[in-house]
Structure 1
Amino acid sequence: MRAFLCVLDSFGVGSADNAAPAEQGADTFGHIVEACAAGKADREGLRAGPLNIPNLTALGLGLAGEAARGAPLPLAHPHPAQGLYGFAREISFGKDTPSGHWEMTGLPVQFDWGYFPEAESFPPQLLADLIEQAGLPGILGNKAASGTEIIEELGEEHIRTGKPIVYTSADSVLQIAAHETHFGLERLYRTCEIARRLVDEHNVGRVIARPFVGERVGEFKRTTNRHDYAVPPHGDTLLDRAKTGGRDVIAVGKVPDIFAGRGVTHPVKAGDNSSVFAALMAGLKDNADGALMVTNFNDFDTLYGHRRDVAGYAAALEQFDAWIPAIRAAMRPGDLMILSADHGCDPTWAGTDHTREYVPVIAFGPGVEGGPLGRRETFADIGQTLATHLQLPALGAGTAFL
């Protein structure tokens, strides 16, 4: 038997009951479905019409979305469902990527991260130490901003002065953007490693390297060489349990970074959704019995959620849906796969930040009978279920549903 956890980064299915007032009503999946049905997510050469995800709806995604929002969706879905379907509530204090992933793997984050203010974000001493220790001519930015927008704003000045762009967001994060060739990718990574040490005293979850290319405004483009420097998990996760038990733990995309390498035996580099899918298919073919594989499909969040691109998000869902038959055909007897998400990022919502939402829980595999899972009271039910499936010691949180 093997286990696969596929995280559709930011794919929420309805506003959570513990969402802040400004986020109440956010619904990543539901609002995409409604926009497509109304013809508001059409884009020439990309997609048109109602959301076309027959394979995901066959597994119960539509039913999960309706249960989470407590209202019907303009989406056809068959009965009975071929997978187990439900939705889960986050009990971690934050709505960030590490909190979501750690809770999914049995370790809720029930403490407050450190956050930086929107303007003049970083303490002067932190910036002074970063400039001195990294040998920088200075920094640009020092504010909360959209990553793509601040590169457009300051990219040319960065190239001219050699000063990296340092910014934050609503998450517990310090991000550094720099040009891959003019500044240098390895130099960017070294700068972020220094920043990681400096922000530890501020209880900041992540430092993120954001490399980009291009020479002028309108040409700048972030590359897939992003690298996250996360604080290690504060306790054991499903990955630790599996590694300690002598299992292969394959982590794909940004997953190794999210866990600071903890519990990972085989990190697999992958950038966009297509390369993550290719790694997943390779794992379905080659992973040994007893292995755990965790993948993160990051395009949903980075390219479409944060950029409030409804048509792009819908097209990415349709692409993922088209991969489902190949995934199911490659699964072996005894395999279990769970599709879920780490938070929401409603592309119809105001601003560019994550939205606190329920996440889908879709479980399937040879021999798994479909049916409702209802509302799960914590993301940790996912990790506990995978631990039970792999016959690993119980995790510290969550209830198995198999």
Structure 2
Amino acid sequence: MGSCYVIVIDGLGVGAQEDAGDYGDEEENTLGHVCEQTSCRLPNLERLGLGNIIPVASVPVVSNPLCAHGKMREQSVGKDSTTGHWEMAGIHLNRPFPTYPDGFPEDIIQQFCGGIGVERVLVNESYSGTEVIRDYGEEHLRTGYPIVYTSADSVFQVAAHVDVTPVEKLYEWCAFARDRLMTGEHGVGRVIARPFEGPPGAFERLSEQRHDFSIAPPEQNILGKLREGGVKTYAIGKIVDLFSERYFTQYRRTRHNAEGISQLLSLMSAISDSFVFVNLIDTDQKYGHRLDAEGYAQSLQEFDRAVPAIISKVQDDDLLVITGDHGNDPTNDSTDHSREFVPVLVFPGSCAEQLNLGTRETFSDIACTIADFFGLSADFHGKSMLMKE
């Protein structure tokens, strides 16, 4: 049977979808603009066929790509990681997760304060995570009040210094918010614990101790099908958080892409007949949101250098899929995600229905492809990309 690997390069879009104007994203093209602005060279992804999907200034078309290649359209409403990964798993959302550009309602804040036993919180605005601790960290140290903030994503974030609030206590606060407050109409995609350390002027977020409390996904998804079918499933990176710590035989959170790639290569040498879901977050979290095109390009090149090692570990009966979950164009003025098509590369190309996969109608083609690969029945909206026997 073999193993199936799905690698998601977070925030890698390949041009605005037809409905991008509804999101204010009609000019976005993450891959195209990054490569145009930085002359980013990706020789290994080039050989896979990345430059065959859309015109890319520094990634030319190749005549015999190693992968079947195309792009996928998102059908769900939204442009965040939870929505994108859920649609890959076969879940379609008819309404977006709520966002709070003007901060959370006062009754939510009051209930949060009462539930965790504090008089008040700081901030309650949409704010950059690094800037919010720079601007309010010292006041937090003086008062002990937690820093509550959000972003353009559907998130309720709580930051606290480890010398003021132990990490486990911060987790308890976030679990309370997740289970008691951020539900129903306020059911945000994620409640995120953001511990930090250090003295004023040199605060540092403890990324390895960040914890995401995600909204629980509907049970009807490919991960549930795999579990029912007895297929072992593994998550690397933030995948486990996006699926509320469900479904996985084993998971490995990571601090950065280098660790994620290392964990993947190690796992590929140790497993068989399994499913592995990987998220590489640096392109989005470190560079897309911070409008750092050069950093984004370097992160893509880091992954590109790992491609030969990854391909070398793909066995004859294995399947590898490389894709994205939304766009995050660092060359514009917005730090938000963008409503874009995402690339899809399927290796080996010979197993796909055709080498040029065209424009797929939904991210859920991945769920259908996984089900097809493992011989499972699936009624997800979408089509398998594999060759029909």
TM-score category (smaller protein): over 0.9
Whole-Å Cα distance in 2 between the matches of residues 293 and 365 of structure 1?
A: 17
Question: How far did residue 74 of structure 1 move?
Answer: 4.0
Question: How far did residue 239 of structure 1 move?
Answer: 0.8
1:362 alignment counterpart: 345
**1:112-168 Cα deviation digits (max 9, x unpaired):** 32222x23x112222122112212342111111121221211111112211111111
Q: Aligned pair 1:157/2:134, yes or no?
A: no
The 5 Å alignment of 1:185-224 reads 185-197=167-179, 198-201=181-184, 202-224=186-208
The 5 Å alignment of 1:113-262 reads 113-116=97-100, 118-119=101-102, 121-197=103-179, 198-201=181-184, 202-262=186-246
Q: Taking structure 1 as reference, are residues 8 and 144 closer, same or farther at Cα in structure 2, changes over 3 Å only?
A: same
Whole-Å Cα distance in 2 between the matches of residues 346 and 108 of structure 1?
A: 24
Q: Aligned pair 1:11/2:15, yes or no?
A: no
The 5 Å alignment of 1:8-157 reads 8-20=9-21, 22-36=24-38, 50-66=39-55, 73-116=57-100, 118-119=101-102, 121-157=103-139
SS of 1:129 mapped into structure 2? helix
SS of 1:190 mapped into structure 2? helix
Whether the 8 Å contact between 1:115 and 1:172 is mirrored in structure 2 is yes
SS of 2:385 mapped into structure 1? coil
Whole-Å Cα distance in 1 between the matches of residues 330 and 254 of structure 2?
A: 24
1:385 alignment counterpart: 369
The AA in structure 1 aligned to 2:201 is V
**1:175-234 Cα deviation digits (max 9, x unpaired):** 111223332211111110011021113222211112222212354345222211111112
Question: How far did residue 262 of structure 1 move?
Answer: 2.5
Greater mean alpha carbon deviation, residues 324-333 or residues 124-133: 124-133
Question: How far did residue 343 of structure 1 move?
Answer: 0.6
Whole-Å Cα distance in 2 between the matches of residues 363 and 180 of structure 1?
A: 44
Unaligned runs of 5+ in 1: 37-49, 67-71
Whole-Å Cα distance in 1 between the matches of residues 291 and 202 of structure 2?
A: 18
2:314 alignment counterpart: 331
Question: How far did residue 326 of structure 1 move?
Answer: 0.5
Whole-Å Cα distance in 2 between the matches of residues 368 and 396 of structure 1?
A: 21
SS of 1:286 mapped into structure 2? coil
Q: Taking structure 1 as reference, are residues 395 and 2 closer, same or farther at Cα in structure 2, changes over 3 Å only?
A: farther
Greater mean alpha carbon deviation, residues 129-138 or residues 192-201: 129-138
Whether the 8 Å contact between 1:9 and 1:296 is mirrored in structure 2 is yes
Q: Taking structure 1 as reference, are residues 178 and 19 closer, same or farther at Cα in structure 2, changes over 3 Å only?
A: same
- Pairs aligned (count): 381
SS of 1:224 mapped into structure 2? helix
Q: Taking structure 1 as reference, are residues 270 and 179 closer, same or farther at Cα in structure 2, changes over 3 Å only?
A: same
Greater mean alpha carbon deviation, residues 20-29 or residues 51-60: 20-29
Greater mean alpha carbon deviation, residues 369-378 or residues 270-279: 369-378
Whether the 8 Å contact between 1:270 and 1:276 is mirrored in structure 2 is yes
Q: Taking structure 1 as reference, are residues 231 and 18 closer, same or farther at Cα in structure 2, changes over 3 Å only?
A: same
Unaligned runs of 5+ in 2: none
Question: How far did residue 170 of structure 1 move?
Answer: 2.0
Whether the 8 Å contact between 1:33 and 1:73 is mirrored in structure 2 is yes
- Aligned with 1:352 (options 317, 320, 335): 335
Whether the 8 Å contact between 1:344 and 1:355 is mirrored in structure 2 is yes
The AA in structure 1 aligned to 2:153 is D
Q: Aligned pair 1:317/2:297, yes or no?
A: no
The AA in structure 2 aligned to 1:51 is C
TM-score (norm 1): 0.91
Whether the 8 Å contact between 1:155 and 1:220 is mirrored in structure 2 is no
2:357 alignment counterpart: 373
Percent identity over the alignment is 38
SS of 2:335 mapped into structure 1? coil
Whole-Å Cα distance in 2 between the matches of residues 52 and 23 of structure 1?
A: 25
**1:372-392 Cα deviation digits (max 9, x unpaired):** 110001111111111101112
Whole-Å Cα distance in 1 between the matches of residues 78 and 286 of structure 2?
A: 22
Whole-Å Cα distance in 2 between the matches of residues 288 and 148 of structure 1?
A: 41
The AA in structure 2 aligned to 1:169 is S
1:303 alignment counterpart: 286
Question: How far did residue 348 of structure 1 move?
Answer: 0.8
Question: How far did residue 276 of structure 1 move?
Answer: 0.8
Q: Aligned pair 1:400/2:389, yes or no?
A: no
Greater mean alpha carbon deviation, residues 242-251 or residues 75-84: 75-84
The AA in structure 2 aligned to 1:18 is D
Greater mean alpha carbon deviation, residues 320-329 or residues 77-86: 77-86
**1:333-358 Cα deviation digits (max 9, x unpaired):** 11101011111110012121111100
SS of 1:234 mapped into structure 2? coil
Greater mean alpha carbon deviation, residues 85-94 or residues 359-368: 359-368
SS of 1:148 mapped into structure 2? helix
Whole-Å Cα distance in 2 between the matches of residues 323 and 74 of structure 1?
A: 19
Whether the 8 Å contact between 1:29 and 1:65 is mirrored in structure 2 is no
